[in-house]
Chain A
Amino acid sequence: SQQGEEDPQALSIQEGENATMNCSYKTSINNLQWYRQNSGRGLVHLILIRSNEREKHSGRLRVTLDTSKKSSSLLITASRAADTASYFCATDESGGSNYKLTFGKGTLLTVNP
């Protein structure tokens, strides 16, 4: 079953615009992560936000987390054609050495040059 659900499923924007993707989840979490996947390739970790954090930045990425609403958003500013990819949120369901991540179905972002 999917823990995280991304919204929208697909997003098409022009280069230079900002892209916002949302993720909702169902259970309590220790942290939430965002990953990127270029078509048919492996996932690449982008950013991790812990449950006691509300906002985190990394370069052109900004992630927010609202644990009361069980939701997160990923903002990519000044998008580039190279940002075209699928973006997944992932939540952990256990701690210690058993970090089983549950991924959403992803948002397909297309950045048009």
Chain B
Amino acid sequence: DSGVTQTPKHLITATGQRVTLRCSPRSGDLSVYWYQQSLDQGLQFLIQYYNGEERAKGNILERFSAQQFPDLHSELNLSSLELGDSALYFCASSRRGDIQYFGAGTRLSVL
């Protein structure tokens, strides 16, 4: 168990809908990272937050947004969903910034 908790484990929704994925980092970790994993694109970095502030952005679509709250949990919001957004979404956290600890992921299916 990595200590990173992601909910929900599975999410099935329809095109055009909006969903929220939640992540609780390991106790004491200030950095949270979001990744998308799909068969064709592999594991893609989306965005990083450090102690509530956005620190780095990757290949995150404008339809996607994230935030980190004062209690350090983070949420990834995906809106106007398309079939191609179906993927595994991972959250990871780190303390010193080098080693990242991953959650079990949320599997999103857009029908």
Chain A residues in the interface with B (C-beta under 8 A): 2, 31, 33, 35, 40-45, 48, 88, 92, 94-106
Cβ proximity bits B52-90 to A, threshold 8 Å, 1 near / 0 not: 000110100000000000000000000000000000101
A and B contact pairs by CB, cutoff 8 A, 24 listed: A2-B42, A31-B98, A33-B99, A41-B104, A41-B105, A42-B2, A42-B90, A42-B104, A42-B105, A43-B90, A45-B99, A92-B98, A95-B97, A97-B97, A98-B48, A99-B31, A99-B97, A99-B98, A100-B58, A101-B33, A101-B45, A101-B100, A103-B35, A103-B42
**Given the complex of chains A and B, what is the CA–CA distance between A31 and B98 in angstroms?**
8
Number of interface residues of B (CB under 8 A): 28
Selected from A95, A100, A105, the residue in CB contact (under 8 A) with B45 is A100
Please name all residues of chain B whose beta carbon is closer than 8 Å to the beta carbon of A45 when the two chains form the complex: 99-101
